[in-house]
Amino acid sequence: MISPLLEILYQATHSKIQAVVLDMFPIGCLVFGTISIATTSSRLTFAFARDNGLPLSPHLAKISNGVPRNSLFLTIIIDVFFGLLYFVSDSALHAILSASVVALGISYGLPIFTLLLRGRSFLPKAAFSLGRWGLFVNYLGLSFILLTTILFLFPAHRVVDASSMSMDFILHH
């Protein structure tokens, strides 16, 4: 079979046609998700370049027929690079992806942690509030972030060698 998912679907249905048809749903989601992520990323790249926040900003901030074409090309090149990285080194891709999850966890966790330390008295009145559940939700969210951050620092494989160990702790120190 071509992919592990296709093999699983074939073993579940015992029909190649049904397996292929069922495999079309995740493939369609992948295609449409990739298009929307590329669109969003290119527009964010354009916005940062427009505000002179990136190298080569004048070049990346150009718009052609209403499309930030240079930013879109840069986004596609970066996406293709990460896609090809999987074929070159699975552990390098895993290190980059897990480091990004750890960095996102830290960026989400710091405001929650600060809020728990300082309290809510300094915040302006909000239109939406969880009331007394807010503190519980903050602790629950921070606990989840800590758990996932710690788990992503572990190696992906049970037998660890130089190529399979997690390098995330080096990236964050």
- The answer to whether residue 128 scores a pLDDT higher than 90 is no
pLDDT at 168: 52
Residue 64 backbone dihedrals phi, psi, to 5 degrees: -125, 115
Where residue 68 falls among pLDDT bands split at 50, 70, 90? very high
- Please give the Cα distance from 83 to 97 (Å, whole number): 12
pLDDT in tens, 22-51: 999 999 999 999 999 999 999 999 999 999
Which of the two residues, 95 and 145, has the higher pLDDT score? 145
pLDDT in tens, 147-168: 988 888 877 667 766 655 555 5
pLDDT at 98: 81
- Which helix or strand (DSSP H or E) is residue 133 part of? helix 133-152
Q: What is the pTM of this model?
A: 0.61
Where residue 1 falls among pLDDT bands split at 50, 70, 90? low
- The answer to whether residue 59 scores a pLDDT higher than 70 is yes
Distances in Å between the Cα of 62 and the Cα atoms of 38, 41, 56, 59 are: 17, 15, 11, 6
- Please give the Cα distance from 158 to 165 (Å, whole number): 9
Which of the two residues, 78 and 1, has the higher pLDDT score? 78
Enter the DSSP assignment of 126.
Answer: P
Using N-to-C axis directions, what is the helix angle for 90-118 and 133-152, rounded to 10°? 150
What average pLDDT does the structure give for the chain?
Answer: 87
**Could you give the 3-state DSSP secondary structure of residue 99?**
helix
**What is the DSSP annotation of 2-71?**
-SHHHHHHHHHHS-HHHHHHHHHHHHHHHHHHHHHHHHHHHHHHHHHHHTT-STTHHHHT--BTTB-HHH
Total residue length of the chain: 173
pLDDT at 75: 93
Where residue 169 falls among pLDDT bands split at 50, 70, 90? low
Biggest CA–CA distance in the chain, Å, is 62
The full set of domain ranges for the chain reads 1-88, 89-173
